[in-house]
């Protein structure tokens, strides 16, 4: 049986002057109709994993894998044209900061309508109607007015909801959320996440939630993958994160302050060079 | 709190609509700029160690004639007063008489400026039409052979002296191959055949429907225009490339790719639309540069434009013509700047 996404032995390689740099080193995971969290520190390869699935690694970077399939469709050997039909329509991605990820010289409406009309032959009027509905679905008040606004005229939280609307309007099956709330104020983070979570659930989509925030991930995901130095060091149920066995995961958990049980001094994470070379744990289903 | 502050600020200001205030500010800036330009040029002309009187009456004149001309030119008055008189005259549209041609300077300029305008416009057009796509392609295929070619083309454009390229061009395409006509704007047989309406020969010939004149004028202008176009192409393509590289690395371009757009749409609909705003300024600057009159090109091709007019006047100490020409060029420069500023405001939603 194939899942929404099956990835086996994925490598992302960047040739540099001092030899090949491996950003992702042989990880395997699958995604069902679930919410999969990928957690790790900066440079652990979590964003690269998301972009590799969409085949959006910038040249001269290379993606190699034994298998990378979406619903049984091969993504590795897919032509540029075939990938364009998959991007947006089947797999979509939300990026970190709406300030930079929305085109500054196009209105919100133009950008959402473009996302829809790239994949569906619908009239301008119909597309506009659906865009309005979508904006309404991400809890934007007065969508008519917002359609005509430019990205610099909306707030960060609103920008990210617009981004969600834009990425979900062609009805993709998989959504990759790459640190979707890191650039937002704490006060709107939860609101944005709840909207995204609800839409993903209602549409029965698979979600890959990339973050460095363990608490957030354990709250919004079913399974959590912990990455370190381009490998997966641990996979566990989100609800059982506190039972994690790997010293890196434990170290991460221990370095988070706790309001209920305050500690006089937070633990400092000490990294063991052996983790780097330990074989990657499979997160296949 | 914030509201009361702004209300206070509002009360202090005159009740002038913002667009009017902006327009007035712009006009004031332009006036001051032009006055400064005039002042500097005027002073340079006056402090040059050349006797302006001798330039008018010649070296064999008697002392009485000399004194008469000295007074007539107003040279006995203080410099600032002389400058004041000159500015007043200019404001009345009187730039004085050219010593060299014996005609009104304004008349001279009306004759030479269209020649430069025609050449500069065609040159800029060539530079934009070829330079912008070349720059975009060089950025999209960074490091490929097309990028190398564009770099090479740009390097030659920056480093080769224009007079050398001009002479080589004349030698090859006029002297050896005979593909184009030689120096000047029009062959002697065709001169005066079409009525002078705009001063732009190509346009005049088109209006008159005289296609033989049009062909001859085109054959004359094409080589210098290509040469100037090549230089603005070098500049425009380099700028386009670096603007484009910056945009192609932006996150919204990744967003466009995630949406599943084709590479063409990603490049032209998303990235290019963002650089078009910056490009306007670059193109306006390149155009203004050519409008200043490319002296060397005009001299090599015997092009009767404003660049060679000012240079010749300067060499014969004809300061009225130099001043007049400088004012015209300055005005054009400022006008183009304002124009690109306006376009900027129009095209960039963030500037509104």
Does B96 fall in a domain?
no
Q: What are the tokens at B112?
A: 């030479």
Does the domain formed by A88-221 have CATH 3.40.50.300?
A: yes
Residues A137-160 as b or e (16 or more Cβ within 10 Å = b)? bbebeebeebbeebbeebebbbbb
Q: What is the average per-residue pLDDT within A33-55?
A: 92
Give Cα separations from A1 to A28, A32, A201, A285 (angstroms).
Answer: 16, 11, 22, 10
What is this structure's pTM? 0.83
B67 & B123 share domain = no
B134 & B268 share domain = yes
B191 & B295 share domain = yes
The whole-number pLDDT of residue B222 equals: 93
User: Any idea where the domains of chain A sit in the sequence?
Assistant: 1-34+43-82+223-285, 88-221
Q: What is the mean pLDDT of each run of 10 residues along chain B (352 residues)?
A: 43 69 86 89 81 78 85 84 89 85 89 92 95 95 92 88 89 91 84 82 87 90 93 93 94 94 94 91 90 83 90 86 88 87 82 71
What are the strands, taking DSSP E only, across chain A? 5-16, 19-31, 35-39, 62-64, 67-70, 73-74, 91-94, 174-178, 206-211, 223-228, 231-237
The whole-number pLDDT of residue B352 equals: 66
The whole-number pLDDT of residue A259 equals: 80
The whole-number pLDDT of residue A58 equals: 87
User: What is the SS3 assignment for B55?
Assistant: helix
Residues A31-70 as b or e (16 or more Cβ within 10 Å = b)? bebbbbbbbbeeebbbbbbbbbbbbbbeeebebebeebbb
B168 & B245 share domain = yes
Among B254, B261, B347, select the one facing A118 at the smallest CB separation. Answer: B261
- Alpha-carbon dihedral angle through residues B261, B265, B269, B271, given to the nearest 10 degrees: 90
- How far is Cα B287 from Cα B277, in angstroms, rounded to an integer? 16
Does B123 fall in a domain?
yes
B218 & B83 share domain = no
Chain A CB contacts of B266 below 8 Å: none
Q: What are the tokens at B48?
A: 């040059």
Mean confidence (pLDDT) of chain A:
91
CB contact under 8 Å between B277 and A54, yes or no, is no
The whole-number pLDDT of residue B13 equals: 60
- Count of domains in chain B? 2
How confident is the model over A63-105, as pLDDT tens digits?
999 999 998 899 998 999 999 999 999 999 999 899 999 999 9
Does B101 fall in a domain?
no
Last residue of a domain, which of B62, B91, B120?
Answer: B91
Dihedral sign computed on CA atoms, order A64, A65, A70, A75: positive
Strand partners, A15: A20
Give the domain extent around B31: 22-91
- Candidates A224, A202, A190, A200; CA nearest to A36 is A224
The whole-number pLDDT of residue B12 equals: 58
Last residue of a domain, which of B91, B120, B149?
Answer: B91
Does B304 fall in a domain?
yes
Chain A CB contacts of B348 below 8 Å: 105
Among A95, A107, A152, select the one facing B255 at the smallest CB separation. Answer: A95
CB contact under 8 Å between A92 and B261, yes or no, is no
Does B16 fall in a domain?
no
B28 & B160 share domain = no
Does B9 fall in a domain?
no
| Nearest residue of chain A to residue B271 (CA atoms) | A103
Does B15 fall in a domain?
no
- Judge contact between A189 and A156, C-beta under 8 A: no
How confident is the model over A161-181, as pLDDT tens digits?
999 999 999 999 999 999 998
Share of chain A above pLDDT 90, in %: 69
Does B218 fall in a domain?
yes
B67 & B205 share domain = no
The whole-number pLDDT of residue B14 equals: 62
- Candidates B335, B328, B320, B275; CA nearest to B95 is B320
The whole-number pLDDT of residue B117 equals: 92
Nearest-Cα distance to chain A for B88, in Å, is 46
B247 & B326 share domain = yes
B69 & B155 share domain = no
Q: Which residue has the higher pLDDT, A256 or B267?
A: B267
DSSP symbol at B351: G
The whole-number pLDDT of residue B168 equals: 92
Query: Does B349 contact A at CB distance below 8 Å?
Result: yes
Q: Rounded to the nearest 5°, which phi and psi values hold at B50?
A: -130, 135
CATH number at residue B228: 1.10.3720.10
- Candidates B340, B324, B337; CA nearest to B113 is B324
Strand partners, A91: A87, A174
- Residues of A at the B interface, defined by Cβ within 8 angstroms: 54, 56, 80, 84-89, 92-93, 95-97, 100-107, 114-115, 118-119, 150, 152, 163, 166-167, 170
B68 & B193 share domain = no
- How far is Cα A109 from Cα A119, in angstroms, rounded to an integer? 16
How many angstroms from the chain centroid is the CA of residue B4?
48
């Amino acid at each position: 049986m194939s899942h929404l996404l099956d990835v086996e032995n994925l490598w992302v390689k960047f040739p540099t002057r001092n030899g090949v740099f491996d950003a992702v080193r042989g990880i395997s995971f699958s995604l069902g109709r679930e919410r999969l969290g990928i957690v790790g520190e900066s440079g652990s390869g979590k964003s690269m994993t998301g972009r590799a699935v969409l085949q959006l690694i910038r040249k001269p970077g290379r993606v190699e894998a034994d298998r990378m399939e979406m619903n049984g469709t091969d993504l590795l050997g897919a032509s540029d044209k075939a990938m364009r039909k998959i991007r947006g329509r089947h797999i979509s991605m939300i990026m970190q900061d709406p300030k930079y990820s929305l085109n500054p010289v196009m209105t919100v409406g133009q950008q959402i309508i473009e996302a829809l009309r790239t994949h569906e032959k619908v009239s301008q009027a119909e597309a506009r109607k659906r865009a309005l509905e979508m904006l309404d679905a991400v809890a934007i008040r007065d969508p008519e007015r917002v359609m005509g606004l430019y990205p610099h005229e909306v707030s960060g939280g609103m920008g990210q909801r617009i981004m969600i609307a834009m990425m979900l309007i062609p009805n993709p099956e998989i959504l990759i959320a790459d640190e979707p709330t890191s650039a937002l104020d704490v006060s709107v983070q939860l609101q944005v996440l709840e909207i995204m979570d609800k839409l993903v659930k209602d549409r029965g989509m698979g979600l890959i939630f990339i973050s460095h925030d363990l608490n957030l991930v354990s709250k919004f995901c079913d399974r959590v993958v912990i990455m370190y130095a381009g490998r997966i060091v641990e996979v566990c149920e989100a609800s059982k994160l506190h039972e994690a066995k790997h010293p890196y995961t434990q170290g991460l958990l221990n370095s988070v302050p706790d309001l209920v049980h305050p500690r006089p001094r937070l633990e400092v994470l000490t990294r063991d060079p052996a983790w780097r070379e330990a074989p990657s744990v499979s997160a296949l289903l | 709190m914030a509201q009361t502050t702004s209300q206070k600020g509002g009360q202090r200001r005159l009740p002038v609509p913002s667009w009017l205030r902006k327009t007035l500010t712009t006009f004031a800036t332009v006036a001051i700029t032009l006055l400064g330009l005039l002042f500097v040029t005027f002073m340079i002309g006056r402090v040059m160690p050349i006797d302006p009187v001798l330039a008018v009456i010649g070296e064999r004149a008697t002392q009485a004639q000399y004194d008469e001309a000295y007074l007539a030119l107003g040279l006995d008055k203080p410099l600032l007063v002389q400058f004041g008189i000159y500015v007043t005259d200019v404001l009345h549209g009187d730039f004085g008489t050219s010593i060299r041609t014996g005609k009104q300077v304004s008349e001279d300029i009306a004759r030479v400026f269209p020649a430069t305008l025609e050449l500069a416009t065609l040159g800029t057009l060539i530079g934009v039409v070829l330079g912008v796509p070349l720059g975009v392609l060089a950025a999209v295929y960074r490091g490929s052979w097309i990028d190398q070619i564009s770099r090479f083309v740009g390097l030659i454009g920056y480093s080769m002296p224009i007079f050398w390229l001009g002479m080589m061009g004349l030698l090859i395409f006029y002297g050896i191959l005979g593909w184009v006509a030689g120096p000047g704007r029009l062959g002697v047989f065709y001169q005066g055949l079409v009525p002078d309406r705009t001063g732009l020969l190509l346009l005049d010939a088109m209006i008159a429907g005289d296609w033989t004149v049009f062909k001859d004028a085109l054959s004359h202008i094409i080589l210098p225009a290509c040469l100037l176009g090549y230089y603005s192409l070098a500049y425009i393509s380099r700028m386009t490339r670096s603007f484009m590289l910056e945009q192609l690395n932006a996150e919204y371009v990744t967003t466009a790719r995630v949406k599943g757009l084709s590479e063409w749409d990603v490049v032209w609909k998303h990235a290019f639309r963002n650089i078009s705003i910056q490009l306007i300024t670059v193109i306006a600057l390149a155009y203004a540069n050519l409008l200043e009159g490319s002296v060397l090109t005009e001299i090599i091709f015997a092009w009767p434009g404003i660049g060679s007019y000012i240079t010749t006047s300067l060499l014969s100490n004809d300061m009225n013509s130099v001043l007049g020409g400088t004012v015209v060029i300055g005005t054009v420069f400022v006008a183009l700047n304002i124009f690109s500023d306006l376009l900027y405001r129009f095209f960039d939603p963030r500037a509104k």
